[in-house]
Structure 1
């Protein structure tokens, strides 16, 4: 509406400049011609009403409200003079209401992009609390208060309590899956009736199973050689595994995992059981 009103003001200003070199006789002739055209338009429309846009109403009200009512009644208008005055009163009311409208109280709402970022971080890191999230946002250059992060999590139905920072053994294993390997022996009997012990390893990150070898007598030296072969294969593949989980139960064959890398890698055993 404001753009349309500005356009009407500019075009009519140029129209007034066009009237300056005209004589009074020429102006009277143009006025009579315009009045006659209004009469023809009313005759053709009949009972149909002409619809004015809000910008048209505002322009006519601003242009004609200074004229006395008896002068307005003498003009050849498409609407009644009372209608023009009503348009002007409504225009003044809207302007007054806009200037007196109270400002919004309280803090402004958090920027939508920050809310999306907080929810994305907590989705990718479910163990983080609101203080950890607040610290990560500061690292990213996003300046927002810790209480704001708390409110975002509460509004999204996510518990922002600090207890969420404590991790369980299951959560630790899931987050460190790429660095974990697990090994165990599997027994099988061949068609000839010979009992074989198969050493298998699982990569927790990809769930890939590796068969390191099979033997009837899993000695310590045999297991050590199989472990060396595994380490060389993992180095060639660029694997990031750093820990090995092995079985220590009595059901395992009489051998252990004596091989551990001293320089190239770190090996760690846990008391957890990994079934083959």
Structure 2
């Protein structure tokens, strides 16, 4: 409507400039001709009223309101003088309403950063009500009323705390990931025809992989020693106290003594169901990644070659390979800060090959 009204106003402004060059006699003749055309239109329309657009009403109200009611009655208008005056009153009322919206009644609007912080606290803490969020804001030095916090949550469509405390499976597993370790066997065959068994463990939270060893004969003694080495590695890294669960399948390669060893370290064993690999989905996904990126892309000569390839891949996976669950960071390497625009133009990248070019790593050139 505003665009159309502006167009009509500019058009009539140029028409008014054209009238300046006309004589009074020419203007009188034009007025008589226009009046006669209006009489013809009235005769054709009869009792039907013409349809006027909102911009037409606004323009007529702005042009005709300076005239008196008696003058409006003498004019042969398509509408009555009372209608023109009503249009003007509506136009003034709309203008005042828009001004009040821009001005804002009452207290000033809350700062956008405070509003975002309130919504963030409500999203990250589903059990917090508006008063708990208000208290946290007070600790952060943000002076805001508790009723304002409630109004922000209500306007954003955030439900009250009792309706937001439902925990999804994804949130539950994410909160427990720090205490979960998973383990599995991977089978592969060398060029000599020998079947090799790879025992690996992965931490759910950090996605760090530990390849515990490879053997052609996974005896109970070998598996027990591999798990003892894992526990010592976790203790040296200071992570043993945080691990409370170990997920594994029901493979007969695991000895009965294994559960007792883990229990002595404060770790409970969780067995997956029969033919239910999704219960150990993170490990199964890593096994697929290992096959896709390493085992299916190179020929393994013997056990020595396999161990060398696995050491290289473990180093590559933990220190270089990015993960979506870690926001594109690696398990043992944080994501670097983004470059400045001027530095990107001078960016030089060097490629490093592992295992004869099977794995590629890219780093900044020195």
- What is the TM-score of this pair, normalised by structure 1? 0.52
Equivalent positions of 1:145-156 (< 5 A) are 156=159
CA distance in 1, matches of 2:77, 2:259: 109
Equivalent positions of 1:198-237 (< 5 A) are 205=204, 213-215=218-220, 223-224=224-225, 227-228=228-229
CA distance in 2, matches of 1:24, 1:146: 68
Aligned to 1:78: 78
Aligned to 2:343: none
Aligned to 1:6: 6
Quick one: which of 265, 272, 293 aligns to 1:269? 265
Unpaired segments ≥5 residues, structure 2:
166-170, 184-198, 247-255, 272-366
Distance 1:226 1:100, change over 3 A: closer
Aligned to 1:50: 50
Distance 1:55 1:178, change over 3 A: same
Q: Which has the larger radius of gyration?
A: 1
CA distance in 1, matches of 2:230, 2:136: 43
CA distance in 2, matches of 1:55, 1:176: 63
Distance 1:81 1:21, change over 3 A: same
| SS of corresponding position for 2:44 | helix
Please tell me whether residue 39 in structure 1 is matched to residue 42 in structure 2.
Answer: no
Q: CA deviation at 1:78?
A: 1.3
CA distance in 2, matches of 1:32, 1:182: 96
Distance 1:246 1:10, change over 3 A: closer
Equivalent positions of 1:53-202 (< 5 A) are 53-92=53-92, 103-106=104-107, 108=109, 114=117, 116-122=119-125, 130=133, 156-158=159-161, 175=175, 177-178=177-178, 180-181=180-181
CA distance in 1, matches of 2:55, 2:204: 67
- The number of residue pairs the alignment matches comes to 218
CA distance in 2, matches of 1:87, 1:34: 23
Contact map agreement 2:153 2:159 (CA 8 A) in 1: yes
Distance 1:246 1:257, change over 3 A: farther
| SS of corresponding position for 1:274 | strand
Q: CA deviation at 1:158?
A: 2.1
CA distance in 2, matches of 1:49, 1:230: 91
Q: Deviations over 1:251-271 (max 9, x none)?
A: x7599859xxxxxxxxx922x
CA distance in 2, matches of 1:97, 1:152: 23
CA distance in 2, matches of 1:151, 1:96: 26
